[in-house]
Amino acid sequence: MAKGSRYNVPYRRRREGKTDYHKRKALILSKKPRLVVRGTLKNIIVQVIAAKPGGDEVLVSAHSIEILKNYGWKAPRGNIPAAYLTGLLCGLKAKAKGIKEAVLDIGLRSPTKGARIFAALKGVLDAGLSVPYGEEKLPDANRIQGIHIAQYAKMLSANTEKYMATFSKYLENKVSPDSLPKHFAEVKKAVIADFKIGGESHGGG
């Protein structure tokens, strides 16, 4: 460990690899809410957060479990289509509260092209929020709709054992991976329709 009279121990969250304070400072100085996207293996969380003197304030939040409970999503909640839908839901919630813009905060994650983070961002953008971004980072429409998953399922369909093992969660929830694009379109339509009545979500959150 470095020593000396001028050495400062990094903040705890930086030592734990949770916060890049240089990036955070730049985001806060923008004076815009932060669009925070975080993912686990099973879920996606998208939030719009404002920095306040007493700490961060979550203005709106969407969790991928909401698209399951409130809009009938049956596929896994940690994939790219689910990330898009969760971003769309968060963006629509933000618009309903009068939030018009934000800056993307991906934390310490690398900005990998086509990642779930950018699928969620695409959902937020399609909801009507203004967020600076690089077009080249967004997943293409086929991946957002789950067409790549459906194509892979069809390719595996001749191998029943591998098909059943790979898509066990889909089959357990009684949704065919081959029909994922259709299921995605139905859930997306339900999310959007929820916000056309009175301008607010009726599904919770």
Task: Quick: pLDDT tens for 54-110.
Answer: 778 999 999 999 999 999 999 999 999 999 999 999 999 999 999 999 999 887 667
pLDDT band of 44, cuts 50, 70, 90: very high
Better-scored residue on pLDDT, 118 or 205: 118
Q: Give the pLDDT band of residue 111 (cuts 50, 70, 90).
A: confident
Q: Quickly list DSSP for the chain.
A: ---STT--PPPHHHHTTS--HHHHHHHHHTTS-EEEEEE-SS-EEEEEEEEETTEEEEEEEEEHHHHHHTT---S-SSSHHHHHHHHHHHHHHHHHTT--B-EEE-TTS---TT-HHHHHHHHHHHHT-B----GGGSPPHHHHHTHHHHHHHHHHTT-HHHHHHHTHHHHHTT--GGGHHHHHHHHHHHHHHHTSSTTS-SS--
Domain definitions of the chain by residue range: 19-194
Give the pTM: 0.83
Residue 156 pLDDT > 80: yes
- The correct CATH number of 19-194 out of 1.10.468.10, 3.30.420.100, 3.30.360.10, 3.30.70.100 is 3.30.420.100
User: According to the model, what pLDDT value does residue 51 have?
Assistant: 85
